[in-house]
Amino acid sequence: MTHTAFLTPSLAGVMLFFFLPLIMIAYNSTMKSALNNEFVGLKNYTDVLNNKAFLLAGRNTLLFSALAVPLAVILALLLALLLNTNLPGRSWFRSIFLNPMMVPVASIVLIWQVVFSFNGTLNSFLGGFGLDKIDWMKSDWSRLVILLLFLWKNLGYNMVLFLSALNNVPAELLDSAKIDGANSVKRFTHVSLVYLSPTIFFVGIMSLINSFKIFREVYLLTGNYPYDALYLLQHFMNNAFRDLDYQKLSSAAIIMCVVMIIIVGTLFLAESRIGKDVEE
Amino acid sequence: MKKQSAASSPQETPTTDRTTLHPGAIDSGTAGSTGVTGGESFPEGVTEQEKAAIRRSKAIRLVQFHPEDRVDKPVEHKRAHSLSRTRITYRISMTIFVIIACIVAVFALMPIVLTVLNSFMSSTEINVNYGVIFNSLSGSAGGATTYLATEPHLKLIPDMASLEQYETVLFKSPTYLLKFWNSVTLVVPIVVFQMAVGSLAAYSFARYRKRGREILFFAYIILMLMPFQVTLVPNYVIADKLGILNTPQAIILPGIFSTFSVFLLSKYMRQIPSSYIEAAKLDGAGEWHIFTRICMPMCKSALYAMGILLFIDYWNMVEQPLILLTDPEKQPLSVFLSQINSGEVGIAFAASFIFMIPPLLIFLNGEQYLIEGISRSGIK
């Protein structure tokens, strides 16, 4: 069976580096400690779920994703619609909007620091209007800052996805809707949006995945111990790694894995429901 | 075509379409008829554009030959009026759109341009301008700040262009070059081998779609969607067991078996017409032959796009080295760049710019492949 041979290297690697250790972790998470193999049931899980740091990190991460994902979807769609008109220099704008995706976070962190530090550019600019200085990275404003950085990096990618989806909307349908007297808003909500719904779903999923990578920006900007509002799950995990607290790590990883499966599963289910509605 | 009925369902009173973006578009509203598209038939081989043109001319004919259809009496007057208005609205909205696009473009490019321009400042100038920021960041703000500017100035153009930063980074301070090389030796094997392993697996998933295989493919997708917060723990545990913790292999090996390329390439390969493969089979070609001679050449652009996407992702890695490769000597530049202390601020901009050159070159060189790759990844 040649096709099995084709799959073997990948499957072996995935088993060894992901699935097998995941099972080990799940097993570990029910033990008292790495050295003491006493079965303690769900105790490690309740410990983690009562851990203040984990709860703070979980809340911050979820809050960020809940804000960032819809914004990334809507703004990217608006950008795609903007470039879908007869705008002069469209391909130039497309390249420019996509460009931030290529730039490593580490390379532009310096600029963000200069802009957002307490004595930074943004504050002196606002000072020009007689506004008070804001400590951007050490107050609740920091959520807004990382939201901005997230959008800066991810809008281009999402926009390209939407642009290709907009190209696949049959022009014939749009034309006939126009002749039927539908204005451009109606044409968008009744025709384009129907064809865009799978892409909206896909962009949503990708943005969700990318929203967990905001840790990079936060870490490179503020290091291991950021302001409370920026304390994310990855910070929690890093600290647990530093203490080599296997029990905490294992149960936290399993909890997050389950939560991810629930979120993604719900999204997939919702998508197939909506997909059915569209067909009818 | 159930979607068509949804599309043409809005049967509101036809109103003059003033928000339309196309100049000279026919104001079908004045035709007062919604039945234009009903029962239309076109000869074979008519393109979409031609069809649209035919429909427009039908709409015009309705206006011209069926005056009783008109809702408003002074239609001619109103049409001329609304047409010129449409044109003006079009002009205005286009101008607004261009302005919005320009603002977004400035926002997108600003940090990159500033990094590049600042990299040509001398380190003294950097210290004068930004010293106050980075001193307070590194927590070493002592008496040294006295001679620094109290207010930082984000400057566009350096007072005196200087290659001092580049000179230091490239010739005087080997640390940065070493970290750069660390990045290269981590990223290149991951990209090359993940594509090799991934394309083989993708071929298998694309060619044989039995139930068990589909379930496995779904497991691959779930794994692809898992954030680092989840996958790093298994990676760490197995690296510890294999004794490769704190070596580059701890990052490279899980990277090679990441399932992203399998997912994307398999989507491409499923679009290859099966007739090609059947024909090759009839000629007696084996699977390996079909894979190397038919599948791979047809996926050339996909592979290129894949390579770009993987390269950006791993060139930018931060999470993995923080946990799997804690020895600062071995860490890639992506992590090291953030550990700037006040003494090195002077060369940080040049180091940052050198670090973004490889992905930017790849972007300029393969933009259409990248865009194609992203676009195809979204097609269900």
Residues B74 and B195 reside in one and the same domain: no
Q: What average pLDDT does the structure give for chain B? A: 75
Residues B228 and B267 reside in one and the same domain: yes
Of B202, B144, B183, nearest to B359 (Cα)? B183
- The reply to whether B369 falls in a domain is yes
Find the Cα–Cα–Cα–Cα dihedral B262, B265, B267, B273, rounded to 10°: -130
- The reply to whether B267 falls in a domain is yes
Residues B145 and B171 reside in one and the same domain: no
Distance from CA of B298 to the nearest CA of A (A): 18
Q: Output phi, psi for A74, to 5 deg.
A: -65, -50
Residue B365: both structure tokens together: 């060189």
**Does the pLDDT value for residue B70 go beyond 80?**
no
Check residue B42 and give its pLDDT. Answer: 54
* Candidate ranges A197-206, B23-32, B71-80; pick with highest mean pLDDT: A197-206
Check residue B223 and give its pLDDT. Answer: 92
- Within 10 angstroms of residue B61's Cβ, the number of other Cβ atoms is 12
Residue A180 confidence class, pLDDT cut points 50, 70, 90? confident
Residue B131 confidence class, pLDDT cut points 50, 70, 90? low
For position B317, which CATH number holds?
Answer: 1.10.3720.10
| Residues of chain B found within 8 Å of residue A244, distances taken between Cβ atoms | none
Cα–Cα distance between A96 and A89 in angstroms, integer? 11
**Does the pLDDT value for residue A74 go beyond 80?**
yes
Residues B278 and B158 reside in one and the same domain: no
Helices A52-83, A43-50: inter-axial angle, 10-degree rounding: 70
Residues B198 and B245 reside in one and the same domain: yes
Task: Name the residue ranges covered by the structural domains of chain A.
Answer: 27-88+158-279
**Does the pLDDT value for residue B251 go beyond 90?**
yes
Q: Identify whether the C-beta of residue B132 lies closer than 8 Å to the C-beta of residue B145.
A: yes
- The reply to whether B259 falls in a domain is yes
B203 and chain A in contact, CB less than 8 A: yes
Check residue B50 and give its pLDDT. Answer: 59
Distance from CA of A121 to the nearest CA of B (A): 6
Mean pLDDT of B208-213: 84
Mean pLDDT of A86-110: 89
Residue A104: both structure tokens together: 């490593």
| Residues of chain A found within 8 Å of residue B377, distances taken between Cβ atoms | 161
**Domain A27-88+158-279: assigned CATH number:** 1.10.3720.10
Domain boundary among B129, B164, B199: B164
Where in the sequence is the domain holding B79, given as residue range(s)?
A: 19-34+45-95
Share of chain B above pLDDT 70, in %: 69
Residues B262 and B338 reside in one and the same domain: yes
Distance from CA of B228 to the nearest CA of A (A): 8
Q: How large is the C-alpha radius of gyration of chain A? A: 23
Find the Cα–Cα–Cα–Cα dihedral B138, B141, B147, B152, rounded to 10°: 50
* Candidate ranges A73-77, A91-95, A202-206, B277-281; pick with highest mean pLDDT: A73-77
Residues B156 and B190 reside in one and the same domain: no
Q: How many domains does chain B have?
A: 3
Q: How large is the C-alpha radius of gyration of chain B? A: 30
Residue A175: both structure tokens together: 């034309």
- Each residue's pLDDT tens digit, B12-65: 334 444 433 344 444 433 333 333 344 445 555 556 665 666 565 555 444 444
Q: b or e along A215-224 (b: 16 or more beta carbons within 10 Å of the residue's beta carbon)?
A: bbbbbbbbee
B377 and chain A in contact, CB less than 8 A: yes
Q: Identify whether the C-beta of residue A129 lies closer than 8 Å to the C-beta of residue B367.
A: no
Check residue B340 and give its pLDDT. Answer: 63
Mean pLDDT of A193-209: 88
- The reply to whether B8 falls in a domain is no
More confidently predicted of B203 and B134: B203
Residue B370: both structure tokens together: 């990248």
Check residue B58 and give its pLDDT. Answer: 52
Cα–Cα distance between A207 and A64 in angstroms, integer? 11
- The reply to whether B9 falls in a domain is no
What residues of chain A, 148 to 167, have a C-beta less than 8 Å from chain B? 152, 156-157, 160-161, 163-165
Check residue B82 and give its pLDDT. Answer: 64
- The reply to whether B7 falls in a domain is no
Task: Tell me which chain B residue has its CA closest to the CA of residue A1.
Answer: B287
Distance from CA of B118 to the nearest CA of A (A): 9
Mean pLDDT of B180-205: 94
Which of A87, A100, A221 comes nearest B108 by C-beta? Answer: A100
Residues B294 and B276 reside in one and the same domain: yes
What residues of chain B, 137 to 166, have a C-beta less than 8 Å from chain A? 137, 150-154
B338 and chain A in contact, CB less than 8 A: yes
Question: Tokens 């205005």 sit at which residue?
Answer: B92
- The reply to whether B1 falls in a domain is no
**Does the pLDDT value for residue B79 go beyond 70?**
no
- The reply to whether B286 falls in a domain is yes
Distance from CA of B47 to the nearest CA of A (A): 10
**Does the pLDDT value for residue A13 go beyond 50?**
yes
Residues B212 and B321 reside in one and the same domain: yes
What residues of chain A, 60 to 89, have a C-beta less than 8 Å from chain B? 79, 82-83, 85-88
Residue A204: which residues within 8 A CB-CB, separation 6 or more? A69, A73, A267
Share of chain A above pLDDT 70, in %: 97
| Residues of chain A found within 8 Å of residue B259, distances taken between Cβ atoms | 10, 14
Cα–Cα distance between B372 and B366 in angstroms, integer? 10
ipTM, interface predicted TM-score of the complex: 0.87
- Each residue's pLDDT tens digit, B300-356: 888 888 898 899 999 999 889 989 998 888 889 888 887 765 556 777 888 888 899
Residue B120 confidence class, pLDDT cut points 50, 70, 90? confident
Q: What is the H or E stretch that residue B206 is in?
A: helix B174-207
Three-state SS letters, B298-336: HCHHHHHHHHHHHHHHHHCCCHHHHHHCCCHHHCCHHHH
Residue A93 confidence class, pLDDT cut points 50, 70, 90? very high
Check residue B24 and give its pLDDT. Answer: 40
Mean pLDDT of A88-107: 90
Cα–Cα distance between B281 and B302 in angstroms, integer? 24
* Candidate ranges A37-41, B54-58, B75-79; pick with highest mean pLDDT: A37-41
Residue B188: which residues within 8 A CB-CB, separation 6 or more? none
Identify from B56, B193, B205, B230 which residue to disrupt to test chain A contact, counting A C-beta atoms within 10 A and taking the largest count: B230
Residues B69 and B191 reside in one and the same domain: no
Check residue B106 and give its pLDDT. Answer: 92
Which of A114, A118, A219 comes nearest B130 by C-beta? Answer: A114
| Residues of chain B found within 8 Å of residue A156, distances taken between Cβ atoms | 108
Question: Tokens 């309705």 sit at which residue?
Answer: B62
